Amino acid sequence: MAVKKQFSSFEEMLANTPRPVLVDFYATWCGPCQMMAPILEQVSGELGDRLQVVKIDADKYPRLASQYQIQALPTLVLFRNGEPVDRIEGVQSAPQLLQYLQSRLSLQG
């Protein structure tokens, strides 16, 4: 499942995670973001051994949202080795997101 963790810095969290990280930039008031919550739970359940899912409230962390040029919510950013490698904006169905992520994760080897 998507994990709510405290970390001293976003960069530290990325650096200390051996798996790719899928970051969900969301807001509590965002309807489409709420639709993504159960989809991300499913993705985390199916890919949890290969991928970590992290949720970041763009309203609480505006510096991060600005740093990664988040202009639409929800935006999913895939990080590998601490660097953003891909992004998806808007709601995705679970099968779409799983297929996309599985193809991206298989590229890492």
State the pLDDT at residue 16.
83
Per the annotation, the verdict on 24 as an active-site residue is no
Contact 7, 64 (CB under 8 A): no
Domain 10-104 has CATH 3.40.30.10: yes
Per the annotation, the verdict on 33 as an active-site residue is yes
User: Catalytic residue among 13, 21, 23, 33, which?
Assistant: 33
State the pLDDT at residue 87.
95
State the pLDDT at residue 7.
60
Per-residue pLDDT band at 10 (split at 50, 70, 90): confident
Contact 87, 75 (CB under 8 A): yes
List the 83-89 sheet strands across, edge first: 52-57, 21-26, 75-80, 83-89
pLDDT in tens, 51-98: 999 999 999 999 999 999 999 999 999 999 999 999 999 999 999 999
State the pLDDT at residue 107.
59
Per-residue pLDDT band at 109 (split at 50, 70, 90): very low
User: Catalytic residue among 2, 30, 94, 98, which?
Assistant: 30
DSSP-derived letter for residue 3 is B
